[in-house]
Amino acid sequence: MSKDMYLVEQVIDILTASAIGKEYYGKELSTYEDIASVMNTLDINKDRKKPITANYIGVAIYRVSKLGLLDRFTPDWEEIEKTHENCFFCNAA
């Protein structure tokens, strides 16, 4: 289970960094496939023998949520709102 929790933590970190404009990964991260692609590009899975897939992300999130542990990964919404003016997508126009 710790591998699943670690993967979910990494997914949340990537999504949060993208949401606050801290990182731009070349596209909007709207699907598990997009997130898996970014994770594989960043070599986050260097300890794994296979690339991270969208299905694996979905399964990990399901397992963590089934145990009721998904709430511990809730991002700090105040920080996101505070830094939202740096959002690449909102200011791209």
- Per-residue confidence of the chain (93 residues) as pLDDT tens digits? 688 998 999 999 898 888 877 888 888 899 999 999 999 988 776 677 788 999 999 999 999 999 888 888 777 777 767 766 655 556 554
What's the confidence (pLDDT) of residue 93? 45
DSSP letter assigned to residue 71: G
Nearest Cα residue to 19 out of 90, 93, 92: 90
- Side chain identity at residue 55, one-letter code: N
Q: What confidence score (pLDDT) does residue 41 get?
A: 87
Q: What pLDDT, on a 0 to 100 scale, did the predictor assign at position 89?
A: 57
CA angle 73, 80, 11 (to 5 degrees): 35
Joined together, the tokens standing for residue 67 give: 């145990």
Q: Please, are residues 3 and 67 in contact by the beta-carbon 8 Å criterion?
A: no
pLDDT for the residue numbered 14:
92
